[in-house]
A and B are shown apart, each in its own frame.
Chain A
Amino acid sequence: MFPFTAVVGQEELKLALIACAIDPSIGGVLAFGDRGTGKSTIVRSLAALLPPIDVVAGDPYNLPPAPAGGQAKSGAKASTKATAKANAKSAVGTPPRAIKIPVPVVDLPLGATEDRIVGALDLERALTQGIKTFEPGLLARANRGFLYIDEVNLLEDHLVDLLLDVAASGENVVEREGLSVRHPARFVLIGSGNPEEGELRPQLLDRFGLSVEVRTPTDLPTRIEVVKRRDAYERDPAGFTAHWEKETAKLRTRIAKAQERVHDVASDDALLETAAKLCQQLGTDGLRAELTLLRVARAVAAYAGAKKVELSHLRQLAPAALRHRLRRDPLDEASASSRVERAIQELLGT
């Protein structure tokens, strides 16, 4: 996997992903833009970058170990006997062991069918033993991590609806063929795509917390550097990754610290007011924009090591938090980004 820290440029996307890793409640990132800019590379490199998480060994839902003394809670509430038995076996046999695993970054491959996404009857066991068991799907695997959909604009509508629904509720419910399973599915949804191949339904746009426009760098030195690093990586992936590991470790520590601190970062009334004004001026409806704006600003502040959110923190990802929520005027030629930029400049100065 190409190391996150070796990616040249694409600062907004990188910061947006880091912010979501610091505070998953920000609500995911949509990266739309040019081909050949390494969108997927950046997202997929997250797993190796982020601080590992504690889970119960072998738990299909990546559940955290119970606090000392307590019993690990079974994640899935299953009503069928078979599933209950399967769960019981793992719970009773040996005391659950806690292990560290990399943050799951689950790729939703193109052509995935619904049964594999939400989970379904375990075919193998149904056929060979004639018993009903629930086989968890991709949503279970993504719990506490990231779910990445490349070409999200090409995904079938009913799958997109389903994913957004689960992402919003944090829970996956499967009712099928006598199976009734409900398990936590809290993940950060990351989508990417190329708008030329089809736009995302406008209704779905604002369900993403942040939206980033990815452009190909046009200046020669940056382009040369991209090609150089990519070439070096392809010739010797292991060596290249090792070379960047120091940087990666540094960034990992920084993110881990920010994760611990983010909920203690203070924000004063003046900042809240600015955020509200910004949203008002841009005519974004609903509270979601404001809420995201604040959460993102707090994550950025925590990442910067600040104790209090400053305007400069708010500014950094404000365009990403707002540009996809503007009421779209198809006849306005100014891009959403420049409208947000303008509003920020008027409100916050340069």
Chain B
Amino acid sequence: MNAPAAPSATPDQSPALIAALLALDPARLGGVVIAGPYSHLRDACIEHLLAAWPESAPRRRLPVTTTDDRLLGGLDLAATLAAGRPVLETGVLGATHGGVIIVPMAERMPTLIVSRLAAALDSGSLRLERDGVSTTLPARVALIALDEARDDEAGLAPALTERLAFCINMDALAPQDKWPEPLDAHSLGRARTRLANIRVPVSHLVALNEAALAYGIDSLRAPLMAVWTARALAALEEADTVDESHIAQAAALVFSHRATRMPAVAEAEPPDDAAEPPAPPPESASDTEATEDNQAEPTADETERLLEAVRAALPPGLLAALAAGNLRSRQRGAEGRAGTRQRSPTHGRSLGATRMTGRGGRVHVLATLREAAPRQALRRSTQATAGKIRITRDDLRVHRFESRRALVTVFVVDASGSSALHRLAEAKGAVELLLADCYVRRDRVALIAFRGSGAEMLLPPTRALARARRSLAGLPGGGGTPLAAGLDAALDVCERVQRAGDRSAIVLLTDGRANIARDGAPGRERAEADARASARNLRAAGIPTLLVDTSPRPQPFALALAAEIDGLYLPLPHADARLLNQAVRATAQDGRTRS
């Protein structure tokens, strides 16, 4: 296969073109992801994108710490009191109608905010049912999402990448002096009037769908956005029909960053492939008005050229990942972490307020006042209380980040030779029992195994417990016992979990016979010293740990290690399923209360 070297940015990916396309049809194309860390070039790129919009179009930056009050809007307390009638405070979404929202650090955006943005992108409007206000506001916005995730981090939420047609990869961007000038608003305006009337021959439409499927792009939003991108490209060239070059360019722009696999027949290309047309569409197809061309089948050549166009535009690194076939797993990892995103708003940043039920909770003063304000006139007439503001129990609002934080239980399994002798199978059985318990508590789990010369992350934090069991079942035993490496790996995961705002607990299953030092060198003494050092790190990080001793007789070193970690110690011979469960629950409880 003639795999091209890391493709340099084609002129297709220039910010000016993407800016023009977006400004032409923001409602259908949604926006653009800019992937890469902060740089002057990135700023220039954003400037370029914004230049395609008229001066009057609103631009807002949306901090990821935004709350519903700011994003959606609600009752404006001061104005309501001053006016003596409910006054709506427009949120960022409503205030940016017809303009652009820029989201820095978009990869950290909590799922709640993501879902609200996604809903606005879908409908172009904002339905408000908040604080006694019921209304619908226009909110047609384009999004510029700045995704600063590094390679090993989860990027922008899939619900948003799904809805943003384009992606500019900073690594692949041409130097600024190579960018074409942005188009002026006047010619954009003319192109816009033509947009809906541009015909798309059915054969092109079919080819686009074939290409999407070949690159493993499941969502049907992608081909639809590609169709409209092609229309916009044709409109810019003052053409009235989409031609093959538009289709190829649109496919490159919309599909390249969504690819999840390489086309299966990319190179084999059996000649009879062309002879086999796709099955005829369902009967009613001929009724639809889109049919404007007799030639409904794309030629095999066209499809092949389309695939090639996408291939040329694949972002650097992606090609290698696709070829190695490990992109799927990378994406699944991202899914696992989607849980983190979803849960992160349960703590740390304020989520806004909720009604006080029972007692407890920190009173959210502003929200309480907001609740009480509109009722003041009423209360003044009916209640004879002193004081300026009359607040009743019904008004009280409390902060909402008090709810439970997500817990990730990290299983660290000793798969060394000595452990294998000592009932690795039973340890696996014990973990399986614990997994079932995690399911009930809706916790996530991660799985690390150590053997030979190092530790391996078998499963990043996930709620897919069936997968945890599978990787555990397939875990081979044998080799030395690099205990320190196992503990380090566990600490690493826990720290990442905590950075994402969740809590973690470790369940360590080992016979404690450390014999491989941190640097991979054999030797019991250094191995044990290293393990103790790693244990102290765990203790310093304050991560609750349960050490399950899997050897037939309790091992003094395992006990010492547990003490070093400041964790619970449980020798397996004494541990039946019930006891194990209790111990893990106690550890998890610790994990909840400690942080």
Binding site for B on A (CB under 8 A): 8, 34-38, 40, 107-117, 120-124, 126-128, 130-132, 135, 137-138, 150-151, 154, 156, 158, 176-177, 194, 196-199, 201-202, 216-232, 234-236, 239-240, 243, 328, 330-333
Contact = CB atoms under 8 A, between A and B. Distances in A.
Given A126-B375, A197-B338, A235-B196, 8 more contacts: A111-B129, A114-B355, A220-B209, A231-B200, A231-B224, A239-B289, A328-B439, A331-B465
B80 interface: yes
Nearest to B223: A227
B442 A199 contact: yes
A220 B210 CA distance: 7
Nearest to A328: B439
Contacts of A38: 220
A239 B394 CA distance: 51
B132 A123 contact: yes
B202 to A, nearest CB: 8
A267 to B, nearest CB: 34
A16 B375 CA distance: 44
Interface stretch (B112-120, B245-253, B508-516, B517-525): B112-120
Contacts of B291: 228
Contacts of B422: none
B305 interface: no
A217 B205 CA distance: 17
B213 interface: yes
B587 interface: no
Contacts of A176: 394
A158 B354 contact: yes
A114 B352 CA distance: 13
B499 interface: no
B130 A223 contact: no
A40 B118 CA distance: 13
Interface in B450-498: 463, 465-466, 469-470
16 contacts: A36-B162, A40-B122, A116-B129, A122-B132, A126-B375, A126-B377, A132-B378, A151-B119, A177-B375, A220-B206, A226-B220, A227-B208, A228-B205, A232-B289, A330-B466, A331-B465
B289 A236 contact: yes
A34 B218 CA distance: 9
Contacts of B280: 221
Interface in B269-294: 278-282, 285, 287-291
A66 B205 CA distance: 54
Nearest to B162: A35
Contacts of A156: 354
A199 B28 CA distance: 29
Contacts of A216: 218-220
Contact of A111 (B72, B86, B158, B374): B72
A160 to B, nearest CB: 13
B375 A121 contact: yes
B339 A198 contact: yes
B159 A194 contact: yes
Contact of A228 (B130, B285, B439): B285
Contacts of A221: 278-282
Contact of B158 (A114, A122, A137, A196): A196
Nearest to A121: B375
B289 A243 contact: yes
B290 A177 contact: no
B465 to A, nearest CB: 4
Contacts of B208: 227
A196 B335 contact: yes
Nearest to B279: A221
B218 A127 contact: no
Contacts of A231: 200, 205, 224, 227, 290
A333 B131 CA distance: 45
**How large, as a class, is the contact surface on chain B?**
35 or more
B46 to A, nearest CB: 27
Nearest to A331: B469
B278 A220 contact: yes
Interface string B5-35: 0000000000000000000000010000000
B220 A225 contact: no
A232 B130 CA distance: 35
B342 interface: yes
A235 B195 CA distance: 9
A121 B86 CA distance: 12
A307 to B, nearest CB: 30
Contacts of B162: 35-36
A225 B116 contact: no
A123 B380 CA distance: 15
B281 A127 contact: no
Contacts of B72: 111
A205 to B, nearest CB: 12
Nearest to A216: B218
Contacts of A198: 111, 338-339, 342-343
A330 B435 contact: yes
B115 A154 contact: yes
A137 B131 CA distance: 11
A47 B220 CA distance: 24
A112 B377 CA distance: 25
A332 B466 contact: yes
A225 B282 contact: yes
Contact of A126 (B115, B119, B378): B378
B374 A126 contact: yes
Contacts of A202: 442
A331 B432 contact: yes
A111 B130 contact: yes
Interface string B362-401: 0000000000001101101100000000001010000000
B40 interface: no
Contact of A127 (B68, B71, B374, B466): B374
Contact of A35 (B68, B158, B354): B158
A128 B354 CA distance: 26
B221 interface: yes
B381 A130 contact: yes
A111 B68 CA distance: 7
B178 interface: no
B209 A34 contact: no
B129 A121 contact: no
Given A177-B394, A240-B289, A116 B132 contact: yes
A225 to B, nearest CB: 5
A138 B210 CA distance: 43
Contacts of A35: 158-159, 162, 219, 221
B348 interface: no
Contact of B115 (A107, A110, A222, A224): A110
B350 to A, nearest CB: 14
Nearest to A175: B394
A230 B224 contact: yes
A116 B130 contact: yes
B128 interface: yes
Nearest to B86: A123
B219 A220 contact: no
B131 A113 contact: yes
A334 B160 CA distance: 31
Given A138-B129, A154-B111, A218 B28 contact: no
Contacts of B111: 154, 197-198
Contact of B219 (A34, A117, A138): A34
A151 B432 CA distance: 31
Which 5 residue pairs spanning A and B have beta carbons closest together?
A36-B219, A116-B129, A330-B439, A109-B127, A112-B129
Interface string B161-198: 01000000000000000000000000000000000100
Interface string B214-240: 000011111110011000000000000
B84 interface: yes
B134 interface: yes
Contacts of B469: 331
Contacts of A120: 132
B209 A196 contact: no
Contacts of A218: 213, 218
